[in-house]
Structure 1
Amino acid sequence: MDAAFTEEQHEIRRTLRELLHKRCGPDEVKAAVRTPPGYDEQLWRQLATQVGLPGLALPAAYGGADCGPTELALACEETGRAVLPSPLIATAALAAPLILALGSERQRTELLHAIAAGELTATLAVPAGRLSTALALTGPNDGDWAGGGRAGGIQARAQGTGWRLYGEAGQVLNGHTADVLVVAAHTGGFARSRTLLFLVRAAGPGRGEGAAGVPGLLRVRQTALDETRPQARLELREVEAELLGEGRCDGAAVARALAATGATAAAALAAEAVGAADTALARTVGYVQERTQFGRPIGSFQAVQHRLADLYVTLQAARSAAYYAAWSAGRGRPGARADVGPCGAAEPGVGALALAQALETLRAVAAEAVQLHGGIGFTWEHEAHLYFKRAACDELLLGPVHRLRARAAEEAGLFTGGAGGGGQAPGAPVTAGTREAVDV
């Protein structure tokens, strides 16, 4: 295996880094998150037209760049460096892979071309804010994670040739502005209940650009500690929708597609966290070389050097894990065939493990950045808090870290069997005792 990046991959990284360095400094980030959409729409269009960012991992047949999870992860690492507020994760890492994997040819053609061109944004709406469970990152997604037909979920009811959705979902990434919603909902009644995915189009084919809204759909942006990751609460009251796949998919296929999408999304999110941690560490190193105490830079003190050296080693380990997760997610992708789902041959548990390590690294680096910046680092206005807030909120949204690791151990069969009768029976789920062992 050749672990070196290609010249094309290096070019993606260089182009993005130069563009974001010019257009996405801390002041620009703080200004963008306070706009109604929560991100700079002009910059997003520029990233779509000049770099092809939203279509980076889509096949050329649907207007994409014909790349894969590795290129998407490299792009996310650069957006993470700038803590870029954008619909990239929601559109390119969550919604687009599901449309590619499960959508009919008509749905793919109508939506993916527009997504790749930056004309449409999309997101995945999961009831009860259980995004990490739906993506099989913190637990199996073959249960009642979508509400199980009870209150708090989203129900789908067939009506004529279409469907109607009723329920609500919270913590939906970019849910207040997304043009296309991929909604997970229960259907089939209690006896035959299953979770399927549905499309709700707020703009684009069939509605027209700038549509005022979807009847019965209420979208409210939620207040979040990390404003660079906009989230929304969706309320659906008999909202018109269409089944993703137009009848070709069943509950098992949906669960597999969500899990495969989770592997790619975990690698992208891990790389994004690594990029944020890298910039936070670099700026901290620069600051301790300038700040003086007792007549000398505090970076010359051995205790400070040791703390920064430990962070550097931790960061490099997290970067390697993220790159491996991206490679693992894309290794089953033969070329860029459109009929292949989103990277279904990923090694079990790798994505969750890489994401856990990256989130933990970002949290540690951000905390040290705040402390080593001294008094100014403890003010909310300082840029160190962009990284601190990202670390705190990403773990709340996608973790916690110990559950990501427990799920990775479960998928890898780490605690099944064992000599001397000390392990569990083969195929048995991870129990509370083994979860405690993983946490340690």
Structure 2
Amino acid sequence: MQTSKQDKQWQIREMYRMYTFAIVCIVVPSGLRFLVSFAEETQWIHRAWTLQEVVAPPSVAVLFSWNHGDGEALARLLGETYYGRIEVVTRGRSAMAGLGNVLTLCAGGCFEFTPDDADTAVSPLLVEAALFGQVQSHADAGALTVDNHIAFPHITALGFAIDRNLDTEEMRDFCIWQCALVRTSSRPVDMIFSIMGILGVILDPKEFADDDRLGATIALAREILRQGRSANWLAMHITIPPCPQLSTFPTLPRTSVAGRAMYDLPSGGEQTLVLADAVYPNDIGLFPPLKGSMDGSGYLSFHARAFMVVTAPEAMTLPGNSPYDNPVCPTQLRAMDGSKWTIMSDDVGISMDYEHSASPLSLSQEPRSFAVILGWYNDMPAETNGDNIRAMLITEHTNGLYHVRSYFVLSHEAIQWASTRTVQHFCVGGPE
């Protein structure tokens, strides 16, 4: 069917809507030629177009090779216990389970399985779960343990994305952006076309070249904001460098039809892009979702709580590996890129009217920089006693225009302090 360019463009525009009509979507991670077991890693979760296949339909199941019969699966992640059901399709050959359950079972790398007909005196079977990513220690030594940390945040992000019980649209959309960031396709522009329907936007594929991921990203972000929705992509990945041309986004990775998303390291070389943590934004009333507008060059204009920062002296130290000096009322911060900063008094940076305020260099011999508070982010599971507050480090590169340099994390104990910072206006994008 895709020999017709016009037909292909129609399919791209309508594909998400078509999937919403499905009663159930059956995922075959290895493709239709054969079934793989839980222990075999596949590239299904890294392919761009598979995302809308599982977000749009009301029900999604996974079909896999299986010879252990019907039964109950159990996984433990960070002290929490999760249960799932595995149902045989063809005895001795295959079985199915709900996608949400399979993602949970795979997030830690292994799970326990108890067949329905098992003797109560028999210990559960320990099963390696590598369908969507293999824990390297399991591959190297064959050592499995059921009480695990989250080995694969991208699996957890997809679990959030398909969860129909999330409290807000911002939670889901943030996870969609995370899922898309680590996926690949033969055409860079498809990284946007494959999620636009999920995010409630339909772009015209004729308007973008195959390699114009940047232009399509700006177009999608502009339309999301025009609809009155939030900039739900901010801080989706806080440990890789920002995109040089569109700094409110992380570096846009290189994609390929049969590989992993890769990005260039500042020091040279390249690295596989993986999510650093499993988080989602949570609007708890003190930090409403950041909204605004974006121009055709990708500059995001918005109002948000912020505080001015300046480069800290080289001799400044922070306790241990802490990203701040004081969890309740910080005065010194370490950004995710390793740079260290001193927080200025709130009244120093309060005026953003350049016609009546001091020159950026009147306070220090460096461009003005601010930490823009983005909000509260829950970990998985929903921990509220960690470094739950995220802020975006921005620096002025021309009069009134800023770019993202890195990010800060603040303690949950700083919520009262952060919620009283002054609301200011910024225009952030570029810088190239």
TM over 0.5: no
* TM norm structure 2: 0.31
Richer in helix (by share):
1
User: If you compute each CA radius of gyration, which structure gives the higher value, 1 or 2?
Assistant: 2
Per chain length, whose mean CA-contact separation is higher, i.e. which structure has more relative contact order (CA < 8 Å, sep 6+)?
1
